[in-house]
Amino acid sequence: MNTSLFWILVIVVGCVVAFAGHRLLLWMESKGWIFYRHSGNSGGALGNAFMAVHSMLDSEAGRAAESRLHEEKKESESGEPPISGA
């Protein structure tokens, strides 16, 4: 009986710690310190693949996919040119 009570207590404490960590990460995300669940970049490669397939079926989605890829390319190209020298 004592051993089973110990394991139940370990499971309960583990769940409480996991929930507290989850809430802490959500709070940090709300402050803008990290990207955890609700924010961040769009779907990535898989999202782009689905968008491309959908664009074949719907012309409006095609324009949205082109716009999205153009914006991502524009963001990645911003900044100063690399410094050359040796």
- Read off the pLDDT band of 49 (50, 70, 90): confident
Does the pLDDT at position 32 exceed 90?
no
Mean pLDDT of the region 50-55: 72
Domain ranges of the chain: 1-39, 41-76
- pTM more than 0.85: no
Cβ neighbours of residue 43 closer than 8 Å, sequence gap 6 or more:
50, 51
Q: Rounded to whole angstroms, how far apart are CA atoms 41 and 26? A: 16
Q: What is the pLDDT of residue 80?
A: 57
pLDDT tier, 60 (very low <50, low <70, confident <90, very high otherwise): low
